[in-house]
Amino acid sequence: MKRAGQKVVAGTEAPGTSQTNKKQKTSLCGSGFGESEPCTSMDWGSLPHHVILRVFQFLTLVDRARASSVCRRWNEVFHIPDLWRRFEFELSQPATSYLKSTHPDLIQQIIKRHADHLQYVSFKVDSSTESAEAACDILSQLVNCSIKTLGLISTAKPSFMNVSKAHFASALTVVFVNSKSLSSIKIDDTPLDDPSLKVLVANNSDTLKLLKMSSCPHVSPAGILCVADQCHGLKELALNYYILSDELLLALSSEKHVDLEHLRIDVVSENPGQVQFHTIKKQSWDALVKHSPKVNIVMYFFLYEDEFDAFFREETPVTHLYFGRAVSKAMLGRIGMNCPRLIELVVCANGLQPLDDELIQIAERCKNLTAMGLGECEVTCRGFIEFVKMCGGRLTQLSIMEEVLIPDSDYSLDRLHLEVSKHLGRMWFPDMMPTW
């Protein structure tokens, strides 16, 4: 029934209308032509759990917490275990850090209500010892956890190293003993020790697949060997060179062990001349590659020039090489001779002697090379073009500082980029700054 030119929105209810339909709200909605049409407003509180859960998964933790106060139903979804499988604790000291921090009340709520739901957990801490200790305190309370992945991340200096070894080991023991299903652990720059590794192996040997523990000075070669001997499903391992041994490579090559996919080795020296680096036998490397023919062996070098003597004297199956300090021409020559599996090479500095011969040798012998980066080095334009010509289109990444290239009588910098682009099969220009 119309009255004074207005449209009646609510009509008469048909017989048999359900109680649910009675609760639906109606309002005037624009039709797009200046008229109003009847429409039904959504009762957000009546959304199914799985729909609310899907929405919550796209929200930040803060927004999710705010949304949980809308109604009782949304608050119930807020505590559904699926939303607490993955969590990153952010711990910082407001007075000294710009990083945000997880609210203490939320941390206590997680420990009380969701500790047994946590599966993928990481701790991001600032440079303060207090934050690292707070992370250990939280780990110590996860007595009912079933964590699958654990990561301890220091955003600045390695603050976990300032925590007492006893406190750190006690916290890790709680997680290692109670989880029983750890598959991935990233605990670089921590006071991890051999007894802690033994606890890890005793409780998680059947599930551990990834272990990253670079810069853990309290771990010995025997400690990591224990892991390799017992964790036959280990596929990725990151460690420092000082605990790498022939025995470890042979253990990773045993018939019981699955194929290793990724081995990262950090070769670091803080005090020049005070570290004597040992040599790994060629037979040990050969055994590893025979067992795991597709393994990526990544080596990061932070050494001084006179400390490279132990490396690449014999054939070494390294695939990725990164030099963070100056490396000599002789060393690059050995790489060209003895690294046939090399895929990527990054040299941050070399000196004032052109590297033409070394690059050409690398191009000739390293048939898998697909990525190259050169920083403070020198290469003539002719030598560089010859290198690119030999590698051809397989060089998918080529990052060379413009200052590295020395013009000669054959090529100027303007002509060089055209020649290089022709051999690569794509447009290429030298970099104005390092991109690796």
Residue 171 pLDDT: 96
Distance of CA 381 to the CA centre of its chain: 36
Distances (CA, A) of 429 to 116, 317, 406, 408, 416: 54, 31, 15, 18, 9
Distances (CA, A) of 7 to 2, 25, 27, 197: 6, 17, 12, 76
Residue 5 pLDDT: 45
Q: Kindly report the pTM of this predicted structure.
A: 0.83
Which residues make Cβ contacts (< 8 Å) with residue 103, sequence separation at least 6?
none
- What pLDDT, in 10s, does the model give residues 61-90? 777 778 877 888 888 777 777 778 888 999
376, 383 contact by CB (below 8 A): no
With a cut of 50, list the residues of the chain below it in pLDDT. Answer: 1-33
Longest pairwise C-alpha distance within the chain:
99
Residue 409 pLDDT: 81
One-letter-per-residue 3-state SS of 37-82? EEEEECCHHHCCHHHHHHHHCCCCHHHHHHHCCCCHHHHHHHCCHH
How many Å is the Cα radius of gyration of the chain?
30
Place of tokens 């060997």: 225
Residue 155 pLDDT: 86
Residue 65 pLDDT: 77
- What pLDDT, in 10s, does the model give residues 267-282? 998 665 556 899 999 9
